[in-house]
Amino acid sequence: MASSVEALNPNAEQMSREQALKINSEAAKGLQAVLKSNLGPRGTIKLLVGGAGQLKITKDGSCLLSEMQIMHPTATLIARAANATDDSVGDGTTTSVLFTGELLKQAERYLSDGLHPRILVDGFDQARQVVLDLLARFKVDMPHIADDRETLCRVCHTALGTKLRPELAEQMKEIVTDALLTIRRGDQPIDLHMVEIMHMQHRMDTDTRLVKGLVLDHGSRHPDMPKRVQNAYIMTCNVSLEYEKSEVSSGFYYKDAAEREKMVVHERKFVDDKVDQVINFMKLVCFDASTGARIREFVLINMKGIDPVSLDKLARAGILALRRAKRRNMERLTLACGGVQLNSFDDLLARPEGAAGETWRPDEVLGKADLVYEVSLGEEKYTFVEGVENPTSCTILVKGQNPHTIAQMKDAIRDGLRAVKNAIDDKALVPGAGAFEIAAYHELMRVAGPAASKDAVEKYPGITGRVKLGVRAYAEAMLVVPKTLAENSGFDVLDTMLKLQEAYSDAVAKAESAGGKPEAVGLDLVTGQVCAPALEGIWDNVNVKRSVVSLSTVLAGQLLLVDELMRAGRGSRPSGGGGGGEGMGEED
């Protein structure tokens, strides 16, 4: 008998509930298998080869999902949802894919026995609430974590350790943490765009360093300008120091060569007057009025152009001038060095009304830096601005011998910055090394087990009857993270899980007898033994765990409730000839 969809559209393609569930489950498990070996510090690395032969070496889940060409519609849906997690909280991409795939894998066992998908989804929703309630109790509150640099370094090391080799992660954790603490302004929201990630392809990756200032990816354009200045004023401006054509259609008319020469002179004088204003202002603020000795250097950084004649005049005055600076660098310069960005030089030497004597300080519009110097690398030039008074913007200068190393480090630095920012925003941390997943499994089995306590029944009245099967499936899926960590580290998965569960059961028993909170139990990836993540300094972010649990549960539930997979959209291709564009299938 033809389906109702085929009656409406003879060219439609549709699959039954069993086929749709199987296809969705296989897609989720296939994506899980791809990313499974990358999880954790002991995970392996993927080598992506593009269509033109370009190579990319990475183990970052977000990078893999965005770079891979995924054709299956369900796998594409999961990949986009996992990338959304990375965009919102900065981490958890691989964990989201693994957890979603494991939920569907565990659901297959019960679906094959005839359990309706709606019952499983109801169990998943109840289990999610139990896990989120546990997360609120399991996290370690740290209200003053922003002042605890050591703990922030450990959080950063946990994030970097999954993407970089151990010795490099050990070095980079302090650089990334100090960079974020540099741009932090009290209780104001942290803007990660104030951390510039610049790279120079030379030397070793261990030569990467933090510049508490700015690194500009261009240098001066005059050979006689100083290459290194100390104790300098920084003038940032957006003023054209070159002849420009008018914005409207215009023409110049003259009767003879003399008039033409006058016009050329006046054009030149228009630009020279602005250059002279800068030079006179420099003499006012950089020279001692009594002795005439020069006490400060002067640096001009302009967002617009400076013509060769103006560059020559500035060079003869001993001014280091940079032209056509990028907008993002101009915004960071005033934050790092101080001062204001000038749009005109007309009022530089004008004394404000009511200002007299020492009350007038013309250098208030200028920034200050202890050292400004230029570095040449092949044909590229870089200008370093260091030693600023109150930096609220900084630069992480990444160095490496090849583009693969630099790209890998940049991805890790971004994840590290987000991890430290999340810790400061949450003012709490979660013990890592699979500790939360072990605790969640124990809590779910306690609630949905045959011997559920009276308090658990009263707290979660919805967990009754067959809904408990969905909760148990959810509990088994929570163990995918410690299982994968053990597998990637080369340990026996069953033995490791038994040790972890027994250790946490003992910790719960001790806590109940003492009336306290059970100690978190995690997996030591080096020895394969049980460890205390809090003592080892292994921390995860609270909002990452919350986001992974919420998103994966909703996504797995939606995929389980798909009862028919149809290709009947307006963009789908008819089975016979004729027009129509090709589109991806639609799920219902």
The full DSSP string for 561-578 is T---EEE-STTSPPSSSS
Query: Residues 435, 557: one domain?
Result: yes
| Dist CA 321 CA 310 (whole Å) | 10
Question: In the structure, what pLDDT confidence band is assigned to residue 582 with cuts at 50, 70 and 90?
Answer: very low
Report the pLDDT value the prediction gives residue 588, as an integer from 0 to 100: 40
Question: In the structure, what pLDDT confidence band is assigned to residue 8 with cuts at 50, 70 and 90?
Answer: low
pLDDT digits (tens, 9 = 90+) for 529-556: 999 998 999 999 999 999 999 999 999 9
pTM (two decimals): 0.83
Query: Residues 365, 230: one domain?
Result: yes
Query: Residues 460, 379: one domain?
Result: no
Query: Residues 228, 366: one domain?
Result: yes
| Dist CA 238 CA 521 (whole Å) | 58
Residue 487, H or E segment: helix 480-488
Query: Residues 134, 283: one domain?
Result: no
Q: Does 158 reside within a domain?
A: no
Query: Residues 386, 478: one domain?
Result: no
Tracing tokens 């215009």 back to the chain, one arrives at 250
Query: Residues 365, 457: one domain?
Result: no
What's the count of helices (H) and strands (E) in the chain, helices before strands? 19, 20
Report the pLDDT value the prediction gives residue 327, as an integer from 0 to 100: 87
Q: Does 414 reside within a domain?
A: no
Closest by Cα among 347, 358, 243 to 305: 243
Q: Which of 179-188, 453-462, 504-513 shows the lowest per-residue confidence on average (mean pLDDT)?
A: 453-462
| Dist CA 374 CA 226 (whole Å) | 9
Q: Does 397 reside within a domain?
A: no
Question: In the structure, what pLDDT confidence band is assigned to residue 575 with cuts at 50, 70 and 90?
Answer: very low
Count of the separate structural domains present in the chain? 2
| Dist CA 58 CA 478 (whole Å) | 26
Token code pair at residue 359: 């009350």
Contact 334, 340 (CB under 8 A): yes
Token code pair at residue 325: 């600076």
Query: Residues 442, 386: one domain?
Result: no
Question: In the structure, what pLDDT confidence band is assigned to residue 306 with cuts at 50, 70 and 90?
Answer: very high
Q: What is the mean pLDDT of residues 421-445?
A: 92
Q: What is the mean pLDDT of residues 91-102?
A: 91
Q: Which of 325-339, 479-493, 562-576 shows the lowest per-residue confidence on average (mean pLDDT)?
A: 562-576
Question: In the structure, what pLDDT confidence band is assigned to residue 130 with cuts at 50, 70 and 90?
Answer: very high
CA distances 206 to 169, 209, 401, Å, are 10, 8, 11
pLDDT digits (tens, 9 = 90+) for 482-499: 999 999 999 999 999 999
Q: What is the mean pLDDT of residues 55-68?
A: 84
Report the pLDDT value the prediction gives residue 153, as an integer from 0 to 100: 94
Report the pLDDT value the prediction gives residue 181, as an integer from 0 to 100: 92
**What letter would DSSP give residue 196?**
E
Q: Does 553 reside within a domain?
A: yes
Question: In the structure, what pLDDT confidence band is assigned to residue 303 with cuts at 50, 70 and 90?
Answer: very high
Q: Count of CB atoms within 10 A of residue 207's CB?
A: 13
pLDDT digits (tens, 9 = 90+) for 461-477: 788 888 899 999 999 99
> What are the phi and psi torsion angles at 546 (to 5°)?
-65, -40
Q: Does 518 reside within a domain?
A: yes
Closest by Cα among 34, 32, 69 to 50: 69
Q: Does 186 reside within a domain?
A: no
Q: Count of CB atoms within 10 A of residue 385's CB?
A: 28
Q: Does 327 reside within a domain?
A: yes
Residues sharing a CB contact under 8 Å with residue 102, sequence separation 6 or more, in sequence order:
32, 476, 477, 480
CA distances 584 to 5, 17, 450, Å, are 17, 19, 45
Query: Residues 278, 373: one domain?
Result: yes
Task: Identify the bridge partners of residue 233 per DSSP, sorted by sequence position.
Answer: 298, 368
| 193 has a pLDDT exceeding 90 | no
Query: Residues 264, 370: one domain?
Result: yes
Token code pair at residue 117: 């998908």
Higher-confidence residue of 514 and 390: namely 514
Question: In the structure, what pLDDT confidence band is assigned to residue 72 with cuts at 50, 70 and 90?
Answer: confident
Burial letters for 401-435: b for 16+ Cβ neighbours within 10 Å, e otherwise?
A: eeeebbbbbbbbbbbbbbbbbbbbbbebbbbbbbb
Report the pLDDT value the prediction gives residue 586, as an integer from 0 to 100: 43
For Cα atoms 181, 186, 188, give the angle at the middle one, nearest 5 degrees: 100
Query: What residue type is assigned to position 230 of the chain?
Result: Q
Report the pLDDT value the prediction gives residue 573, as an integer from 0 to 100: 53
Share of the chain above pLDDT 70, in %: 89
Report the pLDDT value the prediction gives residue 463, as an integer from 0 to 100: 83
pLDDT digits (tens, 9 = 90+) for 144-183: 998 999 999 999 999 998 888 889 999 999 999 999 999 8
Supply the angle between the helices 117-138 and 542-560 in degrees, to the nearest 10: 180
State the average pLDDT for the chain. Answer: 85
Query: Residues 220, 313: one domain?
Result: yes
Closest by Cα among 460, 459, 454, 418 to 547: 418
Q: Does 269 reside within a domain?
A: yes
Boundaries of domain holding 321 = 214-242+254-350+360-390
Can you give the CATH number for the domain in which 366 is found? 3.50.7.10
The full DSSP string for 393-458 is -EEEEEE-SSHHHHHHHHHHHHHHHHHHHHHHHHTEEEETTTHHHHHHHHHHHHHHSTT--HHHHH
| Dist CA 50 CA 63 (whole Å) | 13
Q: What is the mean pLDDT of residues 226-250?
A: 84
pLDDT digits (tens, 9 = 90+) for 374-413: 998 878 888 999 888 778 888 999 999 888 889 889 989 9
Can you give the CATH number for the domain in which 456 is found? 1.10.560.10
Query: Residues 366, 441: one domain?
Result: no
